[in-house]
Structure 1
């Protein structure tokens, strides 16, 4: 018998795998039907072209897929007429209703062209898809912001196209995933492919040179997706001799019905036919765990926070990937661990007989060789069953000889891939790693690209627009850090935040990063901000802003000390993914924490050094839509919040200067001296350059100083951004003058255009919103040199404005008047409120402005009761609310009316005052989303149905006020773009 086997073995050389004949059907051209922003997210996040280019180079193919993006039917047909496409990916955004129509037309014209839907499962899109015929699509995928999904889609379709040929040609193996949940397979497939591709890169080290290595990778196992019992059975029947393993859900369609036991039935049938094939049963129903022992399968709980990690480990341990581990069959303890073919050859005679017999009788060695694309040896050894040979020493000998023969034939030897330091000290934007850039990183790449494409940003004589020097540590560094330090257990536990932080700080970052960091320090020579950039953060369907930490570290000449601070800060950002608040937020937004991956942005801090502190002249946040437009402002002209110092002041809700970039000279806060003194910035944040982070803490602002404006005056940092209050003449003068309080008004920049801030903001809002196709929020900072009157405008971040209350698509002007309690055609605010039942209003009969002070006392008492109960009300009264002149209105302060959610100025025939639009507490209106209505019903300007209120019984009544309560909640609807607000009466 052994002699026959040796004769067979000699023929192995002639059977060497022709890897060049594998994966011959390829996707070269991909048509992407999507709006420009979604397309950019796909292409430039993680540089999808670059990613696929690298993989294709590894596979020694010369033409990676090209992505052509279209957003209209006309563009689609023009491209299809001119180019041969191999795949169409449709991204139906909530704003783009004709994507499915385009897809249907393509299918009619090109029936063999594969179509795929890729969509964020936001509420609007989900509803639309329920009514769409999806049968024309090969697959529907759920876009969660992970660019690996795009590689997976292309690989999945290529695997399907090449499956039959490659299995027949050399016996390529197949992994079958049986799963019908779109969201679930969209999450699992990228992880599975990443794992398989990474394994294939590792096993390619068996080859001698680069050329052989790249060819070998074509032999990796194929992954196929079955979405029903029938589809899975057909695939298994056809390819049962080449199935590496099966991963199956428990519940999926069987005979057209959703069968909770379909997976168990399928795996039972497979196990009957093949006693050794690895099986994984996954289910969201814990009760299905009991079937795993019967099926000899691994059970994976889909509800587990680390489901993807469990699955990866199960595949690695059972499908022949990774190291080969010889085990004692009684205790299952590890006897020996094999990394490569050479090691197997060296230890084959030393493995205890019982362990050796356990593995060869279950085909484990041939499966391991198959998974590593060593087909000739795998194929040969698969035929040599224990039953056929029944001689342990002969078995050892034949395996040994097969390996030696194969290694000689391949002329084994490894050429290591030399990875150069990727950071170019002269570039503005670089990345370390191959994973995703995360949300903020994508946004930065997007604005960097946007500034380059639009030449108007270059038109300023004394200003340049750019992003700060930036390096992104991609998400794969995060994965490596978490895996190599085994942090998942503590991270996913219920441990306190500081316990998690300490565990992360003790962990070790990859050593190879040290040289990269040193190069970055040399290039920047400035403090560095370490910012989170997670996959889900700034995802444009879910607001994740501000959930994770951002640290800053000073620049030091001692680069090792700086390295220590940087390492701590990166670990601190990584740890913040697993803090209690983050976990709670994940749950609230129905995201799985295991899908969250963190990239980290290392970015030069914008600012100037003043002694031991460091801060910029201007920080700001611009929003491209403004729901509180006043005077001549329009909602679509946007609004900007400006502050002196670091931007944390704005994020923390500090007193900023609110300005519309199209009306920079009309600033409400500086329009009256009283408001300017009360409502302009008094404090600011600066980085403490002396704090070296020895007491690194959960508070990411531990090394920031909260200073008084007069400290900036002492630094000489207020030139052109401050005004001076002259207490003798009681006036405010633009500019810095001796004596007198300094007010942060940015007057010389806004009123006198010393720096073209307003124009740059107009451009940033226009192009940002135009290309994202939705309102945006932009963070920025300005370094201004007062000597040269020039500066650099730095774009720090762009993200879609996610306004939960903004889902208003109703035309309020068509609601019949008799259905309304209030209507204002000059309202501020936006959104819908449906939890208010109470109205407090000032009685108009016998009203006299002389009683306004007394009325304010009454309101204050009632307001306190609402605050105690945690309820809200609508407040209606004549004149200007909050006016300090009691003849012009009721002189309430904000705390006196803080439980009101709608405030109404209702003019009277005998008491006419120009509307104030809430100027006296404008900051609070905008901060709390309070609606402000101006109504003059006596001149047909709006509706105020006071007669109805008068006819209702009062909950309480004073000399001047009535408080009434409706049995059901009123419906408040405000359209901030049209300045139209209504309060609708409850349905009877």
Structure 2
């Protein structure tokens, strides 16, 4: 680039002051009106066209067009209301397409405020666009309306641009005042100049300058809020409205306006927000926001749930809800973090199809090491001062998370901060958690999820929800008594007499991590809310096998999340109402006594007395149904429960989202009589996802006996092989495929199942977990977990087979008689053909059918 090449502004006198423009210059005009900006744009464009330059007009403002229609000018119509990322990415794409040497005119940047609400993001936009224009050897014009931006934003733009000029219309004369002219100077360059005819004359007399700036200062005094960010001015205006009882209509309009900038974009969520939040509610939320922008789906769901319950006319929920004490990090902080660290070009590269995953991996690594802007760090510090050394959890709360149709369950990270140590140590721990959550937006699972659901080009900013951990100190541990997941619609009814509409809970002792995740060796208690004492298993042996064995809690001495066995917790004398939550495991106690450990208390967490002797189950059902009525949709809730000394349940609804359900409306009639030789398997219950009648073209089977004998490295290789089959073979439209394997799919412990990631099974039509008791490979009925949310959202049907159960039949002889197609499909993996079997369905076809009402499940050969 030859930056010494002069470019004319169209005004010879102005060229003289500035020593001309240079290739690479971004020129920002601070004006009082669009007429003033237009006065300088026209001659610049005319001169550029005379010199044969390509002129590009970026049209996005609310004002009248700056340039008339002309075949010589390329106009790009842009919509900033689609979000900062979409807008900035589209402009980046246009600049790339236009290439080097074009001249640009941008509409007034101040008009972006109506779309983004905060001029900090205007500064971010300029910081990512200006350097790219400079690289492409362009000259570009921008404008700012002087009174609409904070001093901080003006300074950020000044630091980035090459030329910054103040324009004043004073006493019927134009005055220009160059504030920055990069790599040029003269004795009078930075003085104010008055336009006289074609000349711009410097105000060399002090009285003239005093007269001009005194007039400007008086105007500034009349607008005392001019140095505030537009975001803060918006809420000052809202505060004034909230104090005016007569301004009901204006208040409701302001509610809608603020919701569009702080709550979300999805129509159904905005409708709920306008219904549930008043203006004062939104002002209260704003006092707890660090930065600007949306608070994200997880935060909105939590706040909506609280409002719905507290406003419910038929029950006094104040007696049962913990007080809300959360903070929020606005979604714009996510972009500011990327811009502040100079990663925007890499972020744009990640949006391209060919570098979607590779650039994300590079960006993810960088995001784990970045620094935060000073103003954001100050907000973090104040937040930690507020919580003191009380444990908190930093949770993802992205724009698309927890919406209707997109739960993003478990796709983004959340982290507990036990919050012990010096203020500096606690701040470092908190910032590390924020970095990890921001980086999780670039994980392969999250990217695959977005891509599969057509969201890969949508704005997906990451806001944060910071919550005080619910619970109490018990010795040097901190945890809630109970936690879990509740769903208002139960597609996993395991008894014909159960009503799916009644809802269900997954309940655990301690932190809720064991309720939302599949944890090796542990099972939460499943509770059908219309029959809370009925278990999905039959005898005491199953009760012992399918129960919770360990508790997740926070260790304030070690300053970390910790897992403690129930036996150790009981042995340490931790104060808990054990008899309310469990029954003594007499058989295990006898075994311990025989080994010399007499008197040790061993508990099985059945929650029998809690469910039989307290109103807990009916209270949770009432809560779920109250939320469902207002959502007009089934809901999925994460909660904690603590009890007062009087035995009153105090519930903290930490998350609420629309439940992803599938198939319950499909009418299925399973044939009454199917010849045994035509049946591959048949079972009663143990499936999730509603009714189904699905033809199958392929079966993929992982041989249990062979799998358990593999070395650890080969067990991981089996997972990778399944992933390759997922991409090569499985297709829900053309090649519907059933995947069957021993134990738990997706476990982190290969001894319990195949350790696939979700992106390695996302194309399968149905997923089966097969019990193999001799290898201790047992399915987990994970309804309500993040894993289940993934299955439902991806439209994957789930089933569990227990061949040793008399209500399950598996025709293994038929399966073994089928030819294995693995070697032909994957020659490089032929050494594993004794473990992984791939069967093409016979020409007459295979069909998988399930009926929720009768709880019948069957896979059979069609005629």
Bucket of the pairwise TM-score, normalised by the shorter protein: 0.5 to 0.7
From 629, 638, 644, the counterpart of 2:503: 638
CA contact (8 A) 1:437 1:599 kept: yes
Once residues 182 and 778 of structure 2 are traced to their aligned partners in structure 1, the CA distance between those partners, rounded to angstroms, is 82
Whether contact under 8 Å (2:411, 2:446) holds in the other structure is: yes
**1:721 is matched with which residue: 581, 593, 603?**
581
Which residue matches 1:483? 339
Instruction: Kindly state the Cα deviation for residue 505 of structure 1 after the two structures are TM-superposed.
Output: 5.1
Q: What TM-score, normalized by structure 2, do the two folds share?
A: 0.57
CA distance in 2, matches of 1:352, 1:903: 67
2:843 match: 967
Q: Per the alignment, in what secondary structure is the counterpart of residue 640 of structure 1?
A: strand
Matched, 1:743 2:743: no
- Alignment match of 1:440 (pick from 298, 301, 311): 298
Q: 1:268 corresponds to which residue?
A: none
Q: For 1:7-46, what aligned pairs fall within 5 Å after superposition? A: none
The residue aligned with 1:408 is 215
Aligned position for 1:681: 548
Q: CA deviation at 1:660?
A: 0.9
The separation in 2 between residues aligned to 1:630 and 1:521, in whole angstroms, is 44
User: Out of 370, 388, 395, which is 1:531 matched to?
Assistant: 395
The equivalences for 1:458-497 within 5 A come to 458=316, 464-466=320-322, 468-488=324-344, 493-494=359-360, 496=362
- Return the alpha-carbon distance in structure 1 between the equivalents of residues 309 and 179 of structure 2: 65
Question: Would you say 1:616 and 2:480 are equivalent positions?
Answer: yes
Contact preservation (8 Å) 2:309, 2:317: no
**Contact in 1 for aligned 2:846/2:859 (Cα 8 Å):** yes
Match of 2:640 among 778, 781, 788: 781
Query: Does the 8 Å CA contact 2:583/2:604 hold for their aligned counterparts?
Result: yes
1:112 maps to none
Task: Give the whole-Å Cα distance in 2 for the aligned partners of 1:280 and 1:873.
Answer: 40
Q: 1:747 to 1:350 in 2, by over 3 A?
A: closer
Distance in 2 of aligned mates of 1:775 and 1:635: 11
SS in 1 for 2:547: coil
Aligned twin of 1:849: none
Q: Which of 598, 610, 620 is matched with 1:761 structurally?
A: 620
Separation in structure 2 between the aligned mates of residue 507 and residue 762 of structure 1, nearest angstrom: 45
Q: CA deviation at 1:682?
A: 0.8
Distance of aligned partners of 1:691 and 1:346 in 2 relative to their CA distance in 1, 3 Å threshold: farther
Alpha-carbon distance in 2 for matches of 1:326, 1:663: 63
Partners of 1:345 and 1:400 within 8 A in 2: no
- Residue from 124, 130, 143 that aligns with 1:320: 143
CA distance in 2: counterparts of 1:728 and 1:281, whole angstroms = 65
1:513 aligns with 2:379: yes
Correspondence for 2:431: 567
Aligned pair in 2 of structure 1 residues 352, 639: CA closer, same or farther (>3 Å)?
closer
**Given the alignment, which residue of 790, 807, 818 partners 1:955?**
818
CA contact (8 A) 2:369 2:435 kept: no
1:490–1:778 distance in 2 versus 1, CA, 3 Å = same
| Compared CA separation, residues 834 and 706, structure 1 to 2 (3 A) | farther
Distance apart, 1:533 and its partner CA: 0.7
Deviation at 1:341, TM superposition (A): 6.5
How do 1:331-480 and structure 2 match up within 5 A? 337=164, 348=178, 389=198, 391=199, 394=201, 405=212, 408=215, 411-414=218-221, 415-416=224-225, 430-458=288-316, 464-466=320-322, 468-480=324-336
Counterparts in 2 of 1:814 and 1:832: CA distance versus 1, 3 Å: closer
Classify the secondary structure of the residue corresponding to 1:318: strand
Deviates more, 1:622-631 or 1:404-413: 404-413
Distance 2:562 2:652 in 1: 22
Name the residue aligned to 2:527. 659
Query: Separation in 2 of the partners of 1:508 and 1:623?
Result: 42
Partner Cα distance (1:790, 1:333) in 2: 59
Q: Distance in 1 between matches of 2:631 and 2:340?
A: 38
Residue among 549, 552, 556 paired with 2:416: 552
Q: Which residue of 2 aligns with 1:222?
A: 62
1:981 deviates by: 5.3
Change (3 A) 1:532 1:862: closer
Q: Deviation digits for residues 116-140 of structure 1, max 9, x if unmatched? A: xxxxxxxxxxxxxxxxxxxxxxxxx
Q: Distance in 1 between matches of 2:154 and 2:334?
A: 23
Shift of 1:518: 5.0
Distance 2:566 2:337 in 1: 42
Q: CA deviation at 1:548?
A: 1.9
Relative to structure 1, the CA distance from residue 585 to residue 488 in structure 2 (aligned partners, 3 Å threshold; closer, same or farther) is: farther
| Bigger mean CA deviation after superposition, 764-773 or 475-484 | 475-484
Is the 8 Å Cα contact of residues 470 and 601 (structure 1) preserved in structure 2? yes
**Counterpart-to-counterpart distance in 2, 1:529 and 1:350:** 45
Whether contact under 8 Å (1:954, 1:965) holds in the other structure is no
Q: 1:325–1:633: structure 2 CA closer, same or farther, 3 Å change rule?
A: closer
Displacement of 1:836: 4.9
**CA 1:933–1:510: 2 relative to 1, 3 Å:** closer
Structure 1 unaligned segments of length 5 or more: list them. Answer: 1-165, 176-190, 194-220, 225-231, 251-278, 299-305, 370-376, 693-702, 732-736, 841-857, 876-880, 883-892, 906-919, 935-940, 958-962
Give the conservation status (yes or no) of the 8 Å contact 2:295–2:331.
yes
Indicate the residue corresponding to 2:563 in structure 1: 706
Please state how far the C-alpha of 1:449 moved relative to its aligned partner.
0.7
How many angstroms does 1:550 deviate by? Answer: 1.2
Return the alpha-carbon distance in structure 1 between the equivalents of residues 89 and 659 of structure 2. 42
CA-CA distance at 1:173 after TM superposition: 12
Aligned equivalents of 1:593, 1:972: Cα separation in 2: 35
Q: Secondary structure at the match of 2:320?
A: strand
Structure 1: distance between partners of 2:493 and 2:471: 31
Query: What is the aligned length?
Result: 617
Q: Show the counterpart of 1:597.
A: 461
Cα pair 2:299 2:397 within 8 Å, conserved: yes
Q: Deviations over 1:444-484 (max 9, x none)?
A: 11111111111455269xx6124641111222333444434
For residue 500 of structure 1, report the CA deviation from its aligned partner. Answer: 2.3
Taking structure 1 as the reference length, what is the TM-score of the superposition?
0.50
For 1:333 and 1:674, locate their aligned partners in 2 and report how far apart those are by CA, in whole Å: 69
In structure 2, runs of 5+ residues without a counterpart are 1-32, 43-57, 80-87, 107-123, 134-138, 145-152, 240-279, 351-358, 592-597, 726-736, 744-750, 757-763, 772-776, 792-796, 821-838
Cα separation, 2, equivalents of 1:288 and 1:400:
51
Deviations 1:726-746 (A, max 9, x none): 129999xxxxx9534211112
Question: Kindly tell me: are residues 922 and 340 of structure 1, through their superposed partners in 2, closer, same or farther at Cα, counting changes over 3 Å?
Answer: same
Contact 1:504–1:572 at 8 Å: present in 2 too?
no
**Aligned partner of 2:649 among 787, 791, 801:** 791
Q: What displacement does 1:570 show?
A: 2.8
Q: Distance in 1 between matches of 2:161 and 2:94?
A: 32
Show the counterpart of 1:95.
none
> Against the structure 1 CA distance between its residues 431 and 286, is the aligned structure 2 distance closer, same or farther, given a 3 Å change threshold?
closer
For the residue of structure 2 that corresponds to 1:811, the secondary structure is coil
What is the CA-CA distance between 1:614 and the residue it aligns to?
A: 1.4
